[in-house]
Structure 1
Amino acid sequence: MTIYSGPVFEMAADQLTVVADHLNIPMDERDRLLMPKRSITVSCPIRRDDGTIAVFEGYRVQHHLTMGPTKGGTRFSPSVDIGEVAALAIWMTLKCALVGLPYGGAKGGVRVDLTKISRRELEALSRRYMQEMIPFVGPHIDVMAPDMGTDEQVMAWFMDTYSMYRGQTVTEIVTGKPVASGGTVGRREATGRGVAHLAKRVMSQLAIDASNATAVIQGFGNVGSYAAQELHRFGLKVIAVSDHTGALHDSRGLDIPALMRHAGTRGSIAGFSKEMEFDPSQILTLPCDVLVPAAIERVIDAEAAENLTCRILAEGANGPTTPEADLVLQNRKPEIFVLPDILCNSGGVVVSYFEWVQDLQQLFWEEEEVMRREYQLLDRAFERMLARAKAEKISNRIAAMAIAVEKGRTAMNLRGLFP
C-alpha cells in the first residue's frame, strides 16, 4: 500500500521501471530510487472576502536529499493531488541530476480554483501555505519556485512570509522572484528559451532551415509563450498555439509579439482573433517541424503518437508523453526526434539554481551571463544524452533518464544507509 496513486505517479513509476530494467538495477534498490523521502499534507485556512473561513489542502513532496537541498515549484490548481505532486518531484530529481545541479527534486501544490478567489484571498492563501511549510523548508533544505498557477508575485509573498518568521530577509528561500526582490534577470524566460534553444540544436542536426520551418505550441503560459517568442526570433513561423481558452491557427504564421502582448494584458489568447480560432483537440496533429507540448501531463497517448506529423517533439511540459506513446514513437517511420522533458524544460531549474547561488553570494550577474551559462549546461546534457542514445541504441528519453538515475543511485550508495 502507498499514499501515492493516480495516472501521473504511475507514469513516473513506469518510466523508472523501464530505466531500471535497462540498467539492471537490483529489485531491492528500486523502491529507494522511486519513493519520496518526505511528504507533507497541510490544511490552509483563510478568511474569505465575505468574512467566511475556507480551508484549502496543500502538499509538498521532497523526493530525496542525497545530493543537496530539494528544489521544485509549487502549483495552484483544482486538480492537484499527492500522487501528481510526487511524480513531479521525481521528474525534478532526474532533471537536476541530468544537468548537473546539486539538488534533489521537490514539488508542492494547493488544490484551489484560482478563478474563484480574489487577489487578496490569493495572497492570504500563499502566505498561509508558506507558513505551514516553514518547519520543512529552508535555503539548504528545500527551495520553492513557481509552477502552474503561481508566479513572481506569489514567490515574493512566500519569501516575505518566511523572512518575517526568521526576522531577516531570506531571499534564497525561493527562486522565480521579481528581480526587485532578489530574483535574477532571465528567470522568467529561462524555460521557454531553453526549449527553443534545444529545438534549434536539433534543427541544425536534421538540416532544417529555420526560415522555412514551422512550429506549433500547445499551452501559451510562461513556458509556451517564451518558447514561441524565441522560435519566432529564430525565423520559424509559429502557425498555431493553444491555451485553456481555445486555439489559434494561421498557416502564414501568427504575430507572436502581438499575441504575447494580448495574452499579457488579457491573461489568455481568447479574443485575439475570431478568424484564426481553431479546434484545440487537433493542435497536436497539425503538420509542423517543431511541436512543443507546454501545457499539462499525459496529453500525448498512444493514439496521439500515431497521428503526430512533427519532425521534432520538444517537451516543454512535465510528462506530456505517456510510456505507451513512447513505444509508438520508438517505432515511428519517419522518426520523430524527441527532446524529453527532463532535458527540454530544465532551463527553468538551471536558472533557478543561478538565482539561488546569486542570492547566497549577494553577487548578481548580467542577463547575457545567465543565458550563456544556461545554454552551456543544456548543451552539455544534450550531447551526453545523444552520445548515450547512440552508443546503446536506445531512445533519447531512456538515455537521459539512465544518466540521471545512475548519478542519483551512485550518490545514494556512496552515502549508504544511516544508521
Structure 2
Amino acid sequence: MNSGLLAPPAVRAGGTSSRPPEASLTWTDPVTGRQGFLVVDRLVRGLASGGLRMREGCCQEEVRDLAAAMSVKEALHYDPEHRYLPMGGAKGGIDCDPLSSEARGVLTRFLAFIRPYVANHWATGDDLGTTTELIDEVLRELGVEGCITPVVATLDDPEAARKRFADAFAVEVDGIRLAELVGGCGVAEAALTVLDREGTPRSSATAVVQGFGAMGGSTARFLHAAGIRVVGISDVHGTVANPRGLAVEDMLRHRGPHGAIDRSRLGSADILLDRDDCLSLAADVLVPAATSYTVHEANHDRVTARYIVEAANLPVTAAAEDRLRARGCVVVPDVVANSGTNAWWWWVLYGDVAPDAESSLAKVRGALRDLVTETLKLAEDAGWTPRQAARHLADARRDVLLNRPGA
C-alpha cells in the first residue's frame, strides 16, 4: 500500500496531468467548414511524436488527451542503452468522415496549414481513419519528404535510417504487414503478462476483442497463437461470439476493408450478436481496439472481464475506469499496452532493432512484458491505478532524459 511518502499523480484521460499543452491550434477549412486540430503537448529536443486521425466528431479536447498520452508513451520507453531518445507528444485530428469524397482535400489543406510543424517538429503517422502512406503522399505534394522528416533530420546517417524504415515497412508475415502486427503483438503481450502474473493457465484463459482492424486483428492473432481462446470479436456490423473459441486465422484471411468480418465464412457454432454485446461477453480479458471512449459511464456495468487491456487510444473514460476499479476490474492503460507501435517505429529508425519480423516482435514482446510488470507492481505497492503508475514512471524517465549531458 501507499506509505504516504509518494503522492499519486493527478491524471486526466491517457494517464496525463492537467498541465496545459505547449501549443494548441484549431483550423477551419475555408472550403468545407470542417475543423482540424493540432495539439503539441510538449517538445523534447524540439521534437514531438504522434499520429493524425480523421473521424466524424473529432474535437479539440480529444486531440489534447491523445497528445498528452503520447508524451507518456514516449517517455515510458526511454532506455539509456538505446540509440533512440524519446520525444515529446503531439497529436492531430480532423473532424471529417475519412470515407467521404471531401476527405482528401480537407487533409491536404490541413497539412498545408500546419506545414511548419510537420516539416520541423512533429513526426506524425497513421491513426484512426488515416494511413501513413496517404499522409506521406500528401506531404510530398507539399514539399515535405514524409511523416518522419523532423526526426530523420537529427540523425547521423539519415540514408541508412530511411532504408531501415523502408525495409521494415515492406515486411509481411502471413499476409499482414509487420508495421500492422507490432502494435497487436504488444497488446497481446500485455494481456498475457497480466494473466501470467495471476497464474491463469493460457489453455483456460479467454479474451474478447472489440474491433477487428489493424490493432484488433493483430491482437486477436497473437492471443490465439499463444493459446488463449478468443470467444468474441466485434466489427462495425456487430459481434461474432463462440464460447469454444473463434477461428481467428480464418477470419483474418477473409477480413474485409476496415476490419469487416466476412459472415458468410463463419462456423456453424458461431453466434451473431449486437456490436455492444462484446462488452458483456464472459471473458478474462476485454481488449477495446477500435475507437476512443468505448467504455463509459452509461455502459461500464456491462463489462464482466477481470482485465481491460486498452489497444485503442482512450477507450475507457476516466469516470468509467474509477467505477471499474471499485469492483475489481484492472485497466491496463493504452499508454502502456499499445505503446509498442510507436516505440517500434523509432527503434527501427534509430537502429535499435533490425528491420525484420523476428527481432522486431521479440523486442516488442520483451519491452511490453517488462513495462507491464513494472507498472502493475508499482500500482500494487503504492495503492495506485496502473494509469497513475505509468504516469509516475514516465515522469521519472523524462527527468533522467532531460538531465542527460547535452540534452
| 2:148 counterpart residue number | 172
Would you say 1:92 and 2:59 are equivalent positions?
A: no
1:339 aligns with 2:332: yes
Cα distance in 1 for residues equivalent to 2:271 and 2:148: 44
Distance 2:140 2:168 in 1: 13
1:151 equivalent in structure 2: 131
Q: 1:112 to 1:370 in 2, by over 3 A?
A: same
In terms of fraction of residues, the more helix-rich structure is 1
Q: C-alpha distance in 2, partners of 1:266/1:67?
A: 36
Q: Distance in 1 between matches of 2:40 and 2:378?
A: 29
- Whether 1:321 and 2:316 are equivalent positions in the alignment is yes
Name 1:252's counterpart in structure 2: 244
- What is the one-letter code of the residue matched to 1:104? G
Q: Distance in 2 between matches of 1:202 and 1:294?
A: 18
1:55, distance to aligned residue in structure 2 (A): 5.0
* Worse-superposed segment, 82-91 or 152-161: 152-161
For residues 98-130 of structure 1, the C-alpha deviation after alignment (integer angstroms, 9 at most, x for no partner) is 22251111110121113322xxx5544443333
Q: 1 CA distance for matches of 2:136 and 2:383?
A: 46
Higher deviation after alignment, 59-68 or 146-155? 59-68
Quote how far apart the aligned CAs of 1:151 are: 1.6
Contact 2:185 2:219 in 1 (8 A): yes
Paired position in structure 2 for 1:74: 52
1:134 aligns with 2:115: yes
C-alpha distance in 2 between matches for 1:99 and 1:195:
15
Matched, 1:383 2:373: yes
Change in CA separation of 1:92 and 1:114 when aligned onto 2, cut-off 3 Å: same
Task: Output aligned runs, 1:395-410, within 5 Å.
Answer: 395-408=385-398
Alignment of 1:9-408 (within 5 A): 22-23=8-9, 34-44=19-29, 54-66=32-44, 69-100=47-78, 102-117=86-101, 122-138=103-119, 141-162=121-142, 165=143, 169=145, 172-173=148-149, 184=169, 185=171, 186-265=178-257, 267-269=259-261, 271-272=263-264, 276-302=271-297, 304-332=299-327, 335-357=328-350, 365-408=355-398
C-alpha spacing 1:178/1:253, structure 2 compared with 1 (3 Å): farther
Residue identity (%):
28
Q: Relative to 1, partners in 2 of residues 1:37 and 1:193: Cα closer, same or farther, differing over 3 Å?
A: same
Letter in 2 for 1:154: L
Q: Structure 2 stretches of 5 or more lacking a match?
A: 1-5, 79-84, 152-161, 172-177
Q: 1:371 to 1:154 in 2, by over 3 A?
A: same
Question: Could you tell me whether the CA contact under 8 Å between 2:314 and 2:334 is conserved in 1?
Answer: yes
Distance 1:170 1:149, change over 3 A: closer
Q: Which moved more, 1:321-330 or 1:237-246?
A: 321-330
Q: How far 1:375 moved relative to its partner?
A: 2.6
Question: C-alpha displacement at 1:24, in angstroms?
Answer: 8.6
Amino acid in the other structure paired with 1:386: L
- Which stretches in structure 1 are left out of the alignment for 5+ residues? 1-19, 26-30, 46-52
Give the aligned residue type for 1:150.
T
- Contact 1:285 1:304 (8 Å CA) reproduced: no
Distance verdict in 2 for CA 1:318–1:300, change over 3 Å: same
Residue 272 (structure 1) shift: 4.3
Q: What CA deviation, in whole Å up to 9, does each residue of 1:69-111 have, x standing for no partner?
A: 1100111101111111111101111121122251111110121
Whether contact under 8 Å (1:145, 1:155) holds in the other structure is yes
Instruction: Describe the shift of the 1:271–1:115 C-alpha distance in structure 2 as closer, same or farther (beyond 3 A).
Output: farther
Q: C-alpha offsets along residues 256-312 of structure 1, whole Å, 9 cap, x if unaligned?
A: 122223324575226446863202222112111221011222222356444432232
Q: Deviations over 1:12-48 (max 9, x none)?
A: xxxxxxxx962599xxxxx996211112233446xxx
Q: Which residue of 1 aligns with 2:174?
A: none
Give the C-alpha shift of residue 156 in structure 1.
3.0
Query: What's the CA shift for 1:178?
Result: 12
Query: How far apart, CA to CA, are the structure 2 residues paired with 1:296 and 1:92?
Result: 16
- Relative to 1, partners in 2 of residues 1:161 and 1:183: Cα closer, same or farther, differing over 3 Å? farther
SS in 1 for 2:387: helix
- Residues of 2 paired with 1:159 and 1:189: CA distance? 25
Root-mean-square deviation (CA, aligned residues, Å) is: 3.3
Cα pair 1:246 1:270 within 8 Å, conserved: no
Residue 3 of structure 1 corresponds to which residue in structure 2?
Answer: none
For these two proteins, the number of residue pairs brought into alignment is 369
Cα distance change on mapping 1:364 and 1:70 into 2, 3 Å: same
Q: Using the alignment, how far apart are the partners of 2:385 and 2:34 within structure 1?
A: 41
**Further displaced range: 203-212 or 141-150:** 203-212
- Paired with 1:136 and 1:155, the residues of 2 have a C-alpha distance of 14
CA distance in 2, matches of 1:265, 1:24: 40
Give the match's secondary structure for 1:263.
coil
Q: Report the TM-score, using the length of structure 1 for normalisation.
A: 0.77
Alignment partners' CA distance in 2, 1:160 and 1:256: 38
